[in-house]
Amino acid sequence: MDEQTKSQLQRAYALIKAGSRAEALKLIDPILKSEPDNEIAWWLAANTVTNPRHVEYALNQVLRINPNHGGAKAKLAELIFEVAPVPPPFAVSVVEPPKTTNWMPSQSPPAKQSQSTHWLTGVLVAVAVGLLMGVIAAVITVLGKDDSPSSPTQSAFNSNPTSDVLVDDSEAVPTRPSVEGREELPPTWTPNPTIPTATLPPYYTSTPRPTDTPFSTSRPIVTIDPVNFGDTYWLGNGDGTTMELYYANGRYWRFYEFPVTLYFESEGSDLIWDYAVKNAIAELNQVIEVERTDDERQADIVLKIVDAIQLAKECEVSDIFVVAGCATFRTWGGSARPDFRGFAFVSTAAFYPVAAVLHELVHALGVVVHSPDPDDIMYFQETPNTSLSIRDINTLRRLYSSPSFGD
């Protein structure tokens, strides 16, 4: 680790201690992208974010690099087996009783105090003040003793960034959560899983427009009657992207030879991804004939499950935690009948793996827009839905009933 990286991590550590976690993450994020095996950077990241899914992913990265990291083991165990905290009891408001002094007008003027009473009161006050000062001095003396004082220049490499991090050198490895509870890293480093851009708009990652094909600004040659397809989200969710922007010479970018073949590649052996692919194929076959192939070279669509760092490279984004997936087309050949392939990438950190796979495959089939309706699989944020809605089906049918480059 060079001095610049070390200095950057120390500044991030100082920001974490100061409570400026967002600023700290800005320093940590570039290091994670350039040095994915930097144990300290992942450890600081685990103690910077607050979303349990983000924390879990970062801790798993720490243990991947250093399986004996006691702090990461303990924090991960606490995270996985954490029980929802019991709500605090209702606070009982204690009302200060009214002072009896002058609460009711005295019927007679108070008797004049004697000089001896004033003298006695003064002595008692002096004694009480002296005792109080003695107690305060004793407390300060006790608290001032620290067997291990913290140096102001303490490095982030040998201390825990937050006070609530458990330090336990136990070798016990916590049980992994079930498939339903798998959450290694969400699409964003924010505690709110409903932040938009959980999936990447197609025009942001890449575009299905080939560079050698002129585009028409007119309507398609064959006008499709939208009424025949019912309710759709053909015009997108209001972000400026519509299906009318993704056609050339009156023809839409979609597959025109069937079945559409799908190749699936995963970095892990998690059964959830196999299930997600089978579910997606079954759903898509309601509209389009899709089948799986083991030959990547012959596949029409290539689906890959990748980690957050690889996803950022494939999706061409600067923040490795901003998306859950992306999809694009790659075209070649002449403009009259071009060949093209769909590519879909899904993060291992997706909140809802089954939904994310189906969402990105619909993109790869040519639906480049998002839906404004959370009931649709193509909603512009991640959704727990695992099946196509009526609007999803109608939109796919409309696209695959429109003119293509194979016509």
Token output for 379: 């909603």
Segment 5-21, tens digit of pLDDT = 988 888 888 898 888 88
Q: Is residue 92 very low, low, confident or very high in pLDDT (cuts 50, 70, 90)?
A: very low
Per-residue pLDDT averaged across 150-167, rounded? 35
Average of per-residue pLDDT across 61-85:
72
- What does the alpha-carbon distance between residue 395 and residue 226 come to, in Å, rounded to a whole number? 10
Domains 3-82+158-175 and 202-400 share a fold: no
The one-letter amino acid at 278: K
Residues 6+ apart with CB under 8 A from 44: 9, 12, 13, 16, 24, 28, 156, 161
How many angstroms from the chain centroid is the CA of residue 64? 20
Which CATH number, 3.40.50.2300, 3.40.390.10, 3.40.50.970, 3.40.50.720, labels domain 202-400?
3.40.390.10
Handedness of CA 313, 186, 234, 283 (dihedral sign): positive
Please state which CATH number belongs to domain 3-82+158-175.
1.25.40.10
Contacts of 31 (CB under 8 A, 6+ apart): 5, 8, 9, 38, 41
- pTM here is 0.50
Question: Which of 43-52, 183-192, 322-331 shows the lowest mean pLDDT across its residues?
Answer: 183-192
pLDDT band at 258 (very low <50, low <70, confident <90, very high): very high
Contact predicate 234/263, CB 8 Å: no
* Structural domain spans, the chain: 3-82+158-175, 202-400
